Structure 1
């Protein structure tokens, strides 16, 4: 079982602590629909990674066969170099994900929330690992064993959880070396001066070295420049790709249609009207009105769905690929169905009825 899966109880414990601290300060830290979307997208990435584990691990193993060195997992120096290497590779993946549309589409779901709390840390682009793992392949070529890399990458991810909060201020001298909540709040801002800044995972030194550092100084507006306007996690995951497809269709020249996928998000193809990208401070957050009955249904059934997902993650190493694919399909229906019910879509209850009817079969297969 991965370190990330083992850490799930800790994630929820710390979210509870954050909620309690917020209440004591008279602050509303979480909004139910947003938390639902955050947790669902995080679970979606974990399910995708589990289904595609052969592809993701296979790429690293394929490069590792041609390694330059045989590195011992018992070497403290090797672990130090590897942690630095993972963080360096993460910085360049993260920076690229904000400067190339195709990669941004895989990463954008993480930035869609207009809140900033520990639940946002769990909100991830479902297929992002397909892109991010490419940046780590040089570590395989150098000779870091797969188990060492998997552990170091998990530790890098776990560190990033705690920086997603507004309840921790600046941390003095640590601000010069480590990524802190203050630094990462800037990264999640869509204010003009804050866009595409502070990409580090553990160390802020990379941003200071490569010119992408920005201190937190003004009021932050969270979310993406173009707000997502939905709490449906399936719609949220697909929306960035849908926008690129729509822009490609509107672009007149064939070469520019290709460039749409490779250029930065702010680039506008010739012949297409530019869209204003200025974000006003204090932009109103998207809200959805739900009855107490609907909110209770989404909360209870959503928790049960996440519990079944955790069971899937625990059992996945012993499951055949066909069963993992079946569960992934059922889980995607869960995201769409629950999101549809939450937002009052007429098709939502129908999707849910089919999904719930099939749930016993899925559970029996696990």
Structure 2
């Protein structure tokens, strides 16, 4: 079991404490539909990591066999070097994910929430690991064993959970070295000078060194420049890729249809209007409210789906590929169905009915 899976109970305890803290301060920290999208998108990435484990770790293993050095997992110094080195590479992956369209499409779901809380930390682009793992390959050549790398990556990821909150202010001298809630609130801002800033994971020193640091001053506007305007996790995951395809389709020149995938998100082909990056400081949040019945149903089914997914995480790595694919299809149906229920879509009820009927058979395959 990896570090992230072991941390899941702690994530939910901290979310509960943050909710209580918001109540004490008379602030609405969480919105139910947004939390549902957050948790299902995070689960989707974790599920993808299990099903695609061979692909994600294959390149690392291949290079590790050709390593320059042998690093011992029992060395404390080696762990320090690995954690710092991984954080350095994370900075460049994260920065690239904001400056190259294809990488941004994989990363964008993490930024789509217009709230900022611990649940947003769990909201991830399902296929983002396909991009991030490429940046970590030098660690294999340096001789860090795969298990050591996976553990360090988990530590880096778990650290970043606690910085997703508005209830923690600035932390004095720690702000100079560590990535903190204040620094990361800036990163999630999409307005003005906050856009594409503070890319560090554990350390903020990389942003200070490479010119991407911005201190928190005004209240950030959370979300993406172009709001996704949906609670549906499938829509959220697909929307950034759809935008690139739309731009490529409308580009007059063939070369631009290719370039759009590697250019920055605001880039537009010759002959097209420039991107509008203006974000009003008082921009209203997307807030389509479900009926009471739909909200209760979605909440109950969210808990059930998450419990089933955690069970799959415990069993799935050793399950046959056919079982993994069947469970993945069931989970994708949950993404679309629950999101559709919250938005009152007519097709959502029959989709959910079919998923419920299939559930005993799907879970029976894991027993």
- In structure 1, C-alpha distance between the alignment counterparts of 2:65 and 2:290, rounded to whole Å: 54
Contact 2:267-2:275 at 8 Å conserved across structures:
no
Q: Which residue of 2 aligns with 1:319?
A: 319
Q: Which residue of 2 aligns with 1:97?
A: 97
1:149 aligns with 2:149: yes
Structure 1 unaligned blocks of 5 or more = none
- In structure 1, C-alpha distance between the alignment counterparts of 2:278 and 2:113, rounded to whole Å: 18
TM-score, length of structure 1 as denominator length: 0.99
1:135 aligns with 2:130: no
Q: Which residue of 1 aligns with 2:259?
A: 259
Name which of structure 1's ranges 245-254 and 317-326 shifts more when overlaid on structure 2.
Answer: 317-326
Q: Which residue of 2 aligns with 1:170?
A: 170
Q: Which residue of 2 aligns with 1:242?
A: 242
TM-score, length of structure 2 as denominator length: 0.99
1:8 aligns with 2:17: no
- In structure 2, C-alpha distance between the alignment counterparts of 1:285 and 1:45, rounded to whole Å: 25
Deviation at 1:320, TM superposition (A): 1.1
Residues 123-179 of structure 1: CA deviation (Å, up to 9, x unaligned): 000000011000000000110000110110000000000000000000000000000
Name which of structure 1's ranges 319-328 and 11-20 shifts more when overlaid on structure 2.
Answer: 319-328
- In structure 2, C-alpha distance between the alignment counterparts of 1:151 and 1:326, rounded to whole Å: 28
- In structure 2, C-alpha distance between the alignment counterparts of 1:277 and 1:210, rounded to whole Å: 23
- In structure 2, C-alpha distance between the alignment counterparts of 1:194 and 1:275, rounded to whole Å: 17
- In structure 1, C-alpha distance between the alignment counterparts of 2:326 and 2:76, rounded to whole Å: 42
1:355 aligns with 2:355: yes
Structure 2 unaligned blocks of 5 or more = none
Contact 2:51-2:317 at 8 Å conserved across structures:
no
Residues 82-128 of structure 1: CA deviation (Å, up to 9, x unaligned): 00111001000000000000000000000000000000000000000
Residues 238-293 of structure 1: CA deviation (Å, up to 9, x unaligned): 00001100110000101111111110011111111223220000210001121111
Q: Which residue of 1 aligns with 2:294?
A: 294
- In structure 1, C-alpha distance between the alignment counterparts of 2:357 and 2:271, rounded to whole Å: 50
Residues 163-214 of structure 1: CA deviation (Å, up to 9, x unaligned): 0000000000000000000000000000120111000000000000000000
- In structure 1, C-alpha distance between the alignment counterparts of 2:175 and 2:275, rounded to whole Å: 35
- In structure 1, C-alpha distance between the alignment counterparts of 2:317 and 2:243, rounded to whole Å: 36
Residues matched between the structures, number: 366
1:110 aligns with 2:102: no
Deviation at 1:39, TM superposition (A): 0.3
- In structure 1, C-alpha distance between the alignment counterparts of 2:75 and 2:5, rounded to whole Å: 26
Q: Which residue of 1 aligns with 2:337?
A: 337
RMSD: 0.6
1:47-62, aligned counterparts within 5 Å? 47-62=47-62
Deviation at 1:350, TM superposition (A): 1.1
Residues 56-103 of structure 1: CA deviation (Å, up to 9, x unaligned): 111110010100001111111111100011100100000000000000
- In structure 1, C-alpha distance between the alignment counterparts of 2:151 and 2:9, rounded to whole Å: 19
Give every structure 1 segment of 4 or more consecutive aligned residues whose post-TM-superposition deviation is greater than 3 Å.
none
SS at match of 2:261: helix
1:209-248, aligned counterparts within 5 Å? 209-248=209-248
